[in-house]
Amino acid sequence: MSEFDIITHYFSSLGAGENVRLSVGDDAAALRVDDGFELLVSTDTSAAGVHFPEDLFPEDIAYKAVAAAASDLAAMGASPLGMTLAISLPEHDSLWLHGFSQGLASASRDFNLPLIGGDTTRGLLSMTLTVMGQCPEGQKLLRSGARPTDLVCVSGSLGDSTFGLSMLQGNERGLDIDFEDQEYLLSRFSRPASRIELGERLRAQATSCIDISDGLLADATHIANASGCKLVIDSALIPLSTELVASVGRARAIELALTGGEDFELLFTLPESVSVPDHCTVIGFAEAGEGVLCDGVLKRGGYDHFH
Amino acid sequence: MSEFDIITHYFSSLGAGENVRLSVGDDAAALRVDDGFELLVSTDTSAAGVHFPEDLFPEDIAYKAVAAAASDLAAMGASPLGMTLAISLPEHDSLWLHGFSQGLASASRDFNLPLIGGDTTRGLLSMTLTVMGQCPEGQKLLRSGARPTDLVCVSGSLGDSTFGLSMLQGNERGLDIDFEDQEYLLSRFSRPASRIELGERLRAQATSCIDISDGLLADATHIANASGCKLVIDSALIPLSTELVASVGRARAIELALTGGEDFELLFTLPESVSVPDHCTVIGFAEAGEGVLCDGVLKRGGYDHFH
């Protein structure tokens, strides 16, 4: 069996989906986009040593890669249709592949993304996922629609993921962290929650939306720039997990939330008239101007793999 | 500018397309699939040292990668909609990126595939292209429809590409090859022709179709297995370029055509009642049974990166 055969072996049932007309096995896969819907497409690469530590469990490597890619669909308000996986692998290690395939299968279920195609190559460990979703025409969420007086909102809690990664990298050994808190914070890095349903709910409600992958300040800047307005954020309002605050204290937790990457929560703007969805928090508002004003200081920041 | 900014810089006009609603710049791209059409998707990785020599011109690296991916759309009878590119790059070399972007832009035009999204990562040189196309529902070409008495046909000429690669690798220095023939054969490796229009023409006509990426015998075996019938091929009928025959003689040319990979021509079966399209050649027929019978011998073969 080739690597891809081994991976698809775990997908005998998961390659199927409501809109999948043809899955792995021919020259291309076929999907049905519903009448009146647009196709949304995003491609995301996760490479060992860049996006995750090489020794992360293969289950988590797969899960996190799918979660990261799916997060872009959530940010557009898209409902998932399917995904393709191109994977570069250093060697044929069937135990590793077994774990990887199980993580991929779990994520495929959790994010409702059947695996419809892919490719395997020899090389350093790296995955490129292309995720496809659909959204009713005219309802997709862009970065560019925020308007003055809109509320700035965020889902879940921020900063956990970047701290989880720091623990994995062995940078936090000086801290005395409760075991359950550790587990929670690690899982926030390796098993990001799905915000697909929230994205669907925000269709035709949010004026702008982005997923937090580069850090709150950096991604807020993307919305501010694309929308041509200023986002004013009060860091005291940023949602923080009790686990993160218990582990590092409130001041560092806020710093992690502002600049840490890969939370994969949604940052969005809502007209004042729209009610804030459950598990979401208002952290500021939009006004005329440009850039992101946080606690009275014009800021930029976040995590960038290259710069 | 990031690498991807540099690449998209060359795409200011090429990111647009008839069915592109949103191109590079937000969390996902948006495409319109026409009513009554299905979406076809294929993902293809091209890695340096595996799919092409590392020192191939960057223009050709890009062009060939797009051509290889687009070939899967042609094989399904799909009309191109757009593509995403995930590229792993060892270093920021702006001359290389300039050449690469120009090749990508040429291929984007030639294959009618606007670049609608992508990602860049640090790493060894490798590209993953996801190509999307559309086909009227029920008209896509599969590997599985060949029936006894169908004619087995192939487009263009075979064997040129694998010989072009062999020249590039310096394996053919003992041969005295005409300069123009060399140029032609190298271009057949690095600049495969588009068979998109042929694929569209074969919709609702061909009973099966595949692109020749692993070699004629290997890909014919895919059709035979998927269709549950036998393909009978007469090697004397295989179309060969005058350039290839002049360079290596007829016997080796046939061998290259049978087992060489990456021709990216279409291999398809037609009911006897359908006329053979221009620039296509009948090389055999289908009959009851299994496998591929070539010149009376049951054969398998072709190029496989892993086995």
Structure confidence at residue B303 (pLDDT): 41
Q: What percent of chain A has pLDDT over 70?
A: 93
Q: By three-state DSSP, how is residue A58 classified?
A: helix
Judged against a pLDDT cut of 50, whether residue A187 lies above it is answered with: yes
Phi and psi (nearest 5°) for A195? -110, 20
**Burial code of B209-245, b = ≥16 C-beta within 10 A, e = fewer?**
bbbbbbbbbbbbbbbbebbebbbbbebeebbbbebbb
Structure confidence at residue B246 (pLDDT): 96
Tell me whether A82 touches chain B (CB under 8 Å): yes
Residues of B in contact with A50 (CB under 8 A): 121-123
- Contact between residue A220 and residue A298 where contact means Cβ atoms under 8 Å apart: no
Structure confidence at residue B159 (pLDDT): 97
Tell me whether B207 touches chain A (CB under 8 Å): no
Q: Which of residues 217-236 of A touch B (CB under 8 A)?
A: 226
Judged against a pLDDT cut of 50, whether residue A302 lies above it is answered with: no
- For the CA atoms of A140, A146, A147, A152, what is the dihedral angle to 10 degrees? 120
Judged against a pLDDT cut of 50, whether residue A303 lies above it is answered with: no
Residues of B in contact with A73 (CB under 8 A): 27-28
Average pLDDT, chain A: 91
Mean pLDDT to the nearest integer, A243-247 = 96
Q: Looking at the predicted complex, does its ipTM rise above 0.90? A: no
Judged against a pLDDT cut of 60, whether residue A279 lies above it is answered with: yes
Per-residue H/E/C for B118-143: EEEEECCCEEEEEEEEEEECCCCCCC
Give the separation between CA A63 and CA B191, rounded to whole angstroms.
Answer: 37
Which residues 6+ apart lie within 8 Å of B278 measured at CB?
Answer: none
Structure confidence at residue B304 (pLDDT): 40
Mean pLDDT to the nearest integer, A266-282 = 96
Paired tokens of B292: 């591929």
- Contact between residue A40 and residue A73 where contact means Cβ atoms under 8 Å apart: yes
Q: Which ranges of chain B have pLDDT less than 70?
A: 1-4, 6-8, 10-14, 92, 300-307
Structure confidence at residue B97 (pLDDT): 87
Q: Is B42 annotated as a binding residue?
A: yes
Looking at the DSSP bridge assignments, the partners of residue B287 are B230
Q: Do A41 and B29 lie within an 8 Å CB cutoff?
A: yes
Q: How many C-alpha atoms does B2 have within 13 Å on its Cβ side?
A: 14
Which residue is listed with tokens 């076929």? A30
CA distances (Å), B25 to each of A42, B15, B66, in order? 11, 11, 21
Give the separation between CA A245 and CA A181, rounded to whole angstroms.
Answer: 10
Q: Is A263 annotated as a binding residue?
A: no
Taking only the tens place, the pLDDT of each residue in B6-30 is 666 766 666 778 888 888 888 889 9
Give the separation between CA B4 and CA B253, rounded to whole angstroms.
Answer: 41
Q: By three-state DSSP, how is residue B204 classified?
A: coil
Give the separation between CA B115 and CA A1, rounded to whole angstroms.
Answer: 34
Taking only the tens place, the pLDDT of each residue in A222-231 is 999 999 999 9
Angle (CA) B292 B190 B263, round 5°: 10
Q: Do B45 and A133 lie within an 8 Å CB cutoff?
A: no
Q: A91 or B75: which carries more pLDDT confidence?
A: B75
Q: How many C-alpha atoms does A273 have within 13 Å on its Cβ side?
A: 4
Residues of B in contact with A210 (CB under 8 A): 27
